[in-house]
Chains A and B, each alone.
Chain A
């Protein structure tokens, strides 16, 4: 009870306290990913919403519109260890709904390199844009909810708290969330990554045997992963060689559940999608 009180007291004061939770709509993209509309540089633009993005990305075209000449370097590593070096633009302002958000650091990358469809996007928004806030990600309802003290209390009551850690890579500029999965040897930490929208979660070869998986098989295997005693993910997993993390869980979990995450203190609650 005391902890809940402290948490609610720690919520930033702002318009949302008076007006109720704010909702940001998501739209389906390429059948399995999600985009979000935001006003940046005085125009409505379309961004991917990717919980595993780490550092919010803008395209070179948007950087030009903003009058930013990209500078410096941000190094990130893909799940398989591949190094990415990208220049940055700082203090990019986003408006979504009634809220304004500032990305202290964005990386600049041409999404058109991926395919023609993504070329129409202006970038990709990561959880760093919501740092310090409490949000509920509701992929099933296609919403991100910016919580208020009242709405958070309801989420805490109806949901189950799950172990998470905030991951702040790229010199602390990035923000991802890892969820704890129990193994007989200890807790493994898996990235919550909405860009993993296929049928399987990914598991590193070193963790695989502790989840009853064969490390030498590359095809999908049935898996049961205990997040807490009464929250068990069952589905399919693929063992990925060269992973630099214990695992990666995406829409297989988040697609069917609402996830409330405190991006300030690193707590999270999971509930049935409403």
Chain B
């Protein structure tokens, strides 16, 4: 049963100077706007919304219509890359995990942010392992002169004691934008329509799909890889430092050997003309067709349109740094 509620115009528009609180106020105003029926009430609220929007852009400089693409530095982290960002007023290190789905913050960071984690987020690792953790909402991540927003971040410990990080930066923080990641060049670019067009001109477009799991909050990218039976969908995963993974059933369809257990095997398969995955290929029981980790990504500049679900690859102009995408020290099976 649906019951009506009333329009309530907030009296005060005073706010703290922090962008976060201003944004909260703006969201509240949007909610109020929804509930107001009359043109007069909506007119008053519209003025408040415009004022709040102006204040936000002045206070943060965040996402304020850049005149050109924004280049943001990455740094090597284990076999992948990480971003040095600012959260809750202090510098933090977040591993860039394109298959993370949702951005992750550590419990310690949540505490510093004065967020009491709530609710429950359940996701599944590609091995099928269930992961459940609470959430913090509207986490602002400042990266150079940009502010990214994770609408819902998972709160859990990640990283390892010898290489501590404060969280994982996933693609949900870039939803709706076009980004380019040069893994070997250790740079992420927030594209403009013009700069994106330039990227596409000299790149190979791959059929792609956006996966939006966990209530539509998570965001990751799959590309189609042709097989004799149809397209297999492989996830682009910068959080996977050292492996290329293919589901056992798909091995022969990609011209690879059937192996006992997870393998691995030395092999290669074509993704598109001029684009090939090669190296140590593992075949564990996974809930997706496959996963292209850093052994593949390190050689490519990857442009992703995270609104339309399109992907372009161009070979990186620089060699990957030592250790990036290195497979684990195991011998091929058989």
Question: Is A171's beta carbon under 8 Å from chain B?
Answer: yes
Q: A73 to B230, alpha carbons, bound, how many Å? A: 12
**Given A165-B212, A186-B119, A186-B137: A257 in contact with B233 (beta carbons within 8 A):** no
Question: Is B250's beta carbon under 8 Å from chain A?
Answer: yes
Q: How many A-B residue pairs have CB under 8 A?
A: 135
B130 touches A165 (CB 8 A): no
- Give the number of residues in B that approach A within 8 Å (Cβ atoms): 47
Question: Is B111's beta carbon under 8 Å from chain A?
Answer: no
A185 touches B1 (CB 8 A): no
B209 touches A171 (CB 8 A): yes
B233 touches A189 (CB 8 A): no
Chain B residue contacts of A172, Cβ below 8 A: 209-212, 222, 233, 309
- Pick from A178, A204, A205, A232: contact of B2, CB under 8 Å: A232
Which of A77, A168, A207, A245 gathers most chain B CB within 10 Å? A168
Question: Is A219's beta carbon under 8 Å from chain B?
Answer: no
Chain A residue contacts of B217, Cβ below 8 A: 165, 189
A166 touches B1 (CB 8 A): no
Chain A residue contacts of B1, Cβ below 8 A: 233-235, 256
- Give the number of residues in A that approach B within 8 Å (Cβ atoms): 51
CB-based nearest A residue for B152: A186
A212-237 interface bits toward B, Cβ cutoff 8 Å, 1 = contact, 0 = none: 00000000000000101111111100
Chain B residue contacts of A173, Cβ below 8 A: 209, 233
Which of B137, B212, B222 gathers most chain A CB within 10 Å? B212
Question: Is A71's beta carbon under 8 Å from chain B?
Answer: yes
A230 touches B119 (CB 8 A): no
With both chains docked as a complex, state the minimum distance between the C-beta of B310 and any C-beta of chain A, in angstroms.
12
A171 touches B34 (CB 8 A): no
- Pick from A72, A207, A235: contact of B289, CB under 8 Å: A72
Chain B residue contacts of A91, Cβ below 8 A: 230
**Given A168-B216, A185-B118, A256-B1: A75 in contact with B34 (beta carbons within 8 A):** no
Question: Is A83's beta carbon under 8 Å from chain B?
Answer: yes
Question: Is B3's beta carbon under 8 Å from chain A?
Answer: yes
Chain B residue contacts of A169, Cβ below 8 A: 211-213
- Pick from B7, B122, B216: contact of A167, CB under 8 Å: B216
Q: A229 to B45, alpha carbons, bound, how many Å? A: 15
Other A-B contacts than A169-B213, A231-B2, 17 sampled, CB-CB below 8 A, are A73-B247, A75-B288, A83-B128, A165-B215, A165-B217, A166-B216, A167-B214, A167-B215, A168-B210, A169-B211, A169-B212, A171-B289, A189-B215, A206-B120, A229-B5, A232-B3, A257-B2
- 16 sample A-B contacts, Cβ–Cβ < 8 Å, listed by A number: A71-B230, A73-B247, A165-B212, A168-B210, A172-B209, A185-B118, A185-B137, A186-B135, A187-B137, A206-B118, A206-B119, A210-B118, A226-B5, A229-B7, A232-B4, A256-B2
